[in-house]
């Protein structure tokens, strides 16, 4: 079903069984395959291909020449049902590649709301991207990566499969990440190592001074005192009752399996 208020270039190909919402704009030479859903007010620039079981929310902007919802690059993929879900108000730069999931990863690549992806960004199969993240030019997430809310990845970064980038964390330009990055930690280099606290994260800047001090204290435990992870977990559990922002650390360490950057 195509809304009567949608604007679609005559040179684009729209297959049957596509749902296109009101005020959607689809530029020239696009291909939209069967099963795709595009929400209200979304703008699709020229030469973009959207395929597979792909659901795109409202008021997104997708740059020209992007490939959205293509099958994964996982060689184990055997054509099983899998999808890609994109939330609302995301800005996706030109020549982006966002792949659908696999059975091994739950069958779904998910991208939240209010994210900003620059030119040439790659989101691999089964990635779980939160809200209000930033990914710089030509950076890529391999399969199964988790990217926490408000995290920032600068240009030309690579994140290894199954890594977790915590809430409010930042990767400096040109970094290669092969282990997990805790919340609000800034990391850089090849291989990435901790470079202090990401004090630019909105949640950190808006937190009470006491909360910011606690985050610095946890960083000191992890990286200056090089405390055992179990000791840090106990400290987080003790402090979480008083400082709810530390729930991000609890969630991170419950999921972290690759070890953290050191």
Cite the active site residues: 125-126, 143
Give the C-alpha separation, 139 to 119, whole Å.
9
How far apart are alpha carbons 201 and 8 in whole angstroms?
38
The answer to whether 80 touches 51, Cβ cutoff 8 Å, is no
Q: What is the separation, in whole angstroms, between the first and last Cα of the chain?
A: 52
Element (H, E) at 7: strand 7-8
Q: Are 228 and 221 in contact (CB under 8 A)?
A: no
Closest CA to 60 of 10, 111, 109: 111
Under 8 Å between Cβ of 115 and 131: yes
Residue given tokens 């009470």 in the structure block: 208
d(CA 184, CA 59): 29
CA atoms of 38 and 215, how far apart (whole Å): 40
Residue 86: enclosing H or E segment and its boundaries? Answer: strand 83-86
């Amino acid at each position: 079903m195509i809304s009567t208020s949608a604007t679609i270039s005559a040179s684009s190909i729209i297959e049957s069984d596509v749902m296109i919402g009101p005020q959607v704009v689809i530029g020239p030479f696009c291909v939209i395959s069967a099963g795709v859903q595009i929400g209200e007010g979304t703008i699709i620039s020229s030469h973009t291909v959207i395929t597979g079981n792909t659901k795109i929310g409202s008021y997104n902007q997708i740059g020209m020449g992007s490939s959205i919802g293509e099958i994964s690059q996982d060689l184990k993929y055997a054509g099983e049902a899998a999808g890609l879900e994109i939330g609302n108000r995301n800005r996706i730069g030109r020549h982006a590649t966002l792949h659908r999931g696999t059975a091994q990863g739950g069958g779904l690549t998910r991208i939240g709301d209010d994210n900003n992806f620059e030119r040439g960004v790659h989101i691999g199969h089964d990635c779980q991207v939160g809200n209000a993240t930033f990914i710089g030019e030509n950076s890529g997430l391999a399969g199964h990566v988790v990217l926490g809310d408000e995290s920032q990845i600068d240009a030309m970064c690579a994140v290894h499969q199954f890594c977790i980038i915590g809430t409010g964390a930042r990767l400096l330009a040109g970094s290669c990440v092969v282990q997990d990055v805790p919340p609000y930690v800034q990391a850089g280099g090849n291989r990435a190592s901790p470079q202090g606290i990401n004090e630019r994260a909105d949640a950190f800047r808006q937190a009470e001074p006491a909360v910011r001090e606690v985050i610095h204290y946890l960083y000191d435990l992890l990286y200056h005192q090089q405390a055992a992870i179990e000791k840090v977990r106990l400290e987080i559990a003790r402090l979480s009752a008083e400082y709810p922002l530390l729930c991000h650390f609890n969630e991170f360490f419950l999921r972290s399996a690759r070890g953290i950057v050191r």
